[in-house]
Structure 1
Amino acid sequence: MTHELLSLLLVTTIVVTDNALLAGLLLPYLSRSDKLRLTAAVAIAIAASQAALAVGAQQLLKLYIFRLAAIVILFWMAIETLRLTPPTRSISLWKSFWKVSSYTVVGNVDNMIWLGTSVHRNALYLMLFSLLTVPIFIAVALLLSYECERHRWVVFLGAGMPAWAGVSLLLDTPFALSVLPIYLLWVHIVLAACVVVIGLLLSRVRMWP
């Protein structure tokens, strides 16, 4: 029992950190106080829903429409990440909350599946561990967001995260498995790179300090 709980805590911490990395890339340009409030709200929302998502994500991915939608959203997120620019007008915190929360959940659906395999009968502990790791989520997301604002090249690496996750879901579809029954890492890398390149071409991203 103790071993299961320690494993669940470790997996939860890894998943929360990965979720925070994606959320940090999606956070809009805001004042420090607004960004902190937004990040805290997103962290709590994801922690509260994580147990249900971990249990249900595997079943959802069996639905072809959901998988297709997840792939499209992930690829769009990679492109959208490259288009983030300093705001020219005020940003709605409410709209930003729904955007960052929903994109983070969809973007890390593969993590939810992995977390679901570690839950077993410890759903209550998963909820507890998810809440306990909220400070980790906030710290990692804010750190990455500030680094993206200071160093534009970080965004290029960040765009590769949803692109990689989208390709992972794509390669696991029946059509892809019929064409490529054996997983090849170089194919995964090339396809993810193509998504990022397309994003660069469409967004005409510029480097700002």
Structure 2
Amino acid sequence: MDWGMIAGILNIIVINLVLSGDNAVVIAMASKGLPEEYRKKAIFWGAALAVVLRILLTFLVALLLRVPLIQLVGGLLLAWIALKLLYPEKETKNMEEATDDFKKVLFTILGADLLMSLDNVLAVAGASQGNFYLLVFGLLLSIPIVLVGSTFLSNLLSRYAWLVYVGSGILAWTAGKMIVEDKSVGPFLEHLPISEYLVPLAITAIVILVGKWIRDRALAAEGS
């Protein structure tokens, strides 16, 4: 029995449960305002995009690691998406509006999937330690996690509106972690105690507070 292989498999399972959960959150949040038919399509295509992007990024991971500030820029963009997902969705009145909203949702999911898939690929590539079969296992495992997770979370979000803040907070925390882990940013944070927690916490707080302020103003304007 190869205990190294078993340890690698367990490590990849944990990584996928944590990081694929982020993809499921953004798909569920972005699609929650769509009509049922379009919501199911958004979940399916969002999960498919997440998997395709991970496959592509797996082959490009060595090249991507050479790009300066890639995690910093990715983290800032993901924080913006986390904030944007707190905006109240407008009620869809006809099929044309539903189609337009569906396209916008797919673009939002595509952007978030691209940013978070990079984080997932880097983690899985490190856990697989060059083992091709473990790498493939990690990619295949992400499919059911994203698909089932986003469907489950979408149903929860439609029942409990306050969960949008939890979902946005999770994405904002992930954004903060990406920024801290950027090799160009790390040296500037060395003097700051527990910066690996303070920076994500600060970004999460800013996103939720600003998002709530914008959301409350928009809802008040609609009600007046």
TM range, smaller chain: 0.7 to 0.9
Corresponding position of 2:91: 87
Deviations 1:2-27 (A, max 9, x none): 42345434534443333212321222
Structure 1, 166-175 or 38-47: larger mean CA deviation: 166-175
Corresponding position of 2:214: 202
Q: CA deviation at 1:87?
A: 3.2
Residue 162 in structure 1 maps to residue 171 in structure 2: yes
Q: TM-score, normalised by structure 1?
A: 0.78
SS in 2 for 1:64: coil
SS in 1 for 2:98: coil
Size of the aligned set, in residue pairs, is 208
Which of 103, 118, 121 aligns to 2:112? It is: 103
Runs of 4+ in structure 1 off by over 6 angstroms are none
Is there any run of 5+ residues in structure 1 with no aligned partner, and where? Answer: none
Q: TM-score, normalised by structure 2?
A: 0.74
Counterparts in 2 of 1:1-209, with a 5 A limit?
2-3=5-6, 4-54=8-58, 56-57=60-61, 59-60=63-64, 62-88=66-92, 89-92=97-100, 93-123=102-132, 125-127=134-136, 129-131=138-140, 133-173=142-182, 174-175=184-185, 177-181=187-191, 182-184=193-195, 185-203=197-215, 204=217, 206=219
The answer to whether the 8 Å contact 1:28/1:96 transfers is: no
Q: CA deviation at 1:108?
A: 5.0
Q: Which amino acid aligns with 1:83?
A: Y
Q: CA deviation at 1:115?
A: 1.5
Is there any run of 5+ residues in structure 2 with no aligned partner, and where? Answer: none
Q: Which amino acid aligns with 1:168?
A: K
The answer to whether the 8 Å contact 1:50/1:112 transfers is: yes
RMSD: 3.1
For residues 60 and 143 of structure 1, do their structure 2 counterparts lie closer, same or farther at Cα, with a shift above 3 Å needed? same
Q: Structure 1 vs Structure 2: percent identity of aligned residues?
A: 18
Structure 1, 87-96 or 23-32: larger mean CA deviation: 87-96
Q: CA deviation at 1:120?
A: 3.1
The answer to whether the 8 Å contact 1:74/1:163 transfers is: yes
For residues 77 and 59 of structure 1, do their structure 2 counterparts lie closer, same or farther at Cα, with a shift above 3 Å needed? same
The answer to whether the 8 Å contact 2:46/2:109 transfers is: yes
